[in-house]
Amino acid sequence: MVTATPHEVLADSFTAYWRQLSAYDDDLGIRGMLSTTSKIGDSRNCLAFNVPLRSTCCAEDGVATDLCRSVCYVWKMSEYKAVGPRAERNFIIAQRPDFFRLAAGAILASGVPNFKIHAAGDFFSPEYVKAWHTVVQFCGDVAFWAYTRAWRRDDLLPELRRLALLPNMQLWFSFDRQTGVPPGIEGVKTAWLADNDGEFPPIRADLAFRATRDCKSVPLRVLSGSTVCPHENGLPDMPSTCVACRICLP
């Protein structure tokens, strides 16, 4: 007879707790809280949790720059029914004291092997980052990844450091010419947002994103020593989704 470990028992309790509450609240259901995009992967292989840009990236204490906001495709989609209202509901859920139990329960129940923290939005409080630390810990068989500019906030950096050390978590510090240079932290990789293909990062980044609208029409595999996101490199062998590519995943 195989005995469940205390960790497994607690993880199962999260799932049971989520099932009980989501049965009466559609906003807490898998398709209520969680979503996916064609870029990251289909819903059988990958899901995401989103929060609103206006409340997390672009609030008074937010971390977005004018550059990233001007090229952000999610910003342009934020009013759509499938993006904006759901993210607003998630923002309320994310501030509940039981959020870590709800999120872990939903992710475990979904059975997805990959999960993106924020296809839209960013970390907005130390308590919220702590909650995700717990979720990632208890979903040990799931590969998590996240891009963040929350490293620009001194109150969030210590918790981001802890989150980055988890073995099934890959955290990326995103930066551009307006952010300054992110700190070097164990377990964290860097992603440069280039306004054009002639704009080089002040330090070598692990990955580069191209903000130019016609980037895919101009093949480019490397930008100033940084690997260009294969989804944006314009080459015929570029992978169709993040899950297919896996550069960003742990």
List the one residue out of 113, 93, 119 whose CA is nearest residue 18: 93
Q: Beta strand pairing status for 46-49 and 34-35?
A: antiparallel
List the one residue out of 102, 115, 119, 97 whose CA is nearest residue 32: 102
The per-residue pLDDT for 66 is 87
The pTM of the full predicted model, rounded to 2 decimals, is 0.93
The per-residue pLDDT for 3 is 63
List Cα–Cα distances, 57 to 37, 91, 124, 125, 143, in angstroms: 19, 12, 8, 12, 24
Rounded to the nearest 10 degrees, the angle between the axes of helix 126-138 and helix 6-22 is 110
Question: If the chain, 250 residues long, is cut into consecutive pieces of 10 residues, what is the mean pLDDT of each piece?
Answer: 71 93 94 90 93 86 85 64 78 97 97 96 97 97 97 97 98 95 96 90 93 73 91 83 93
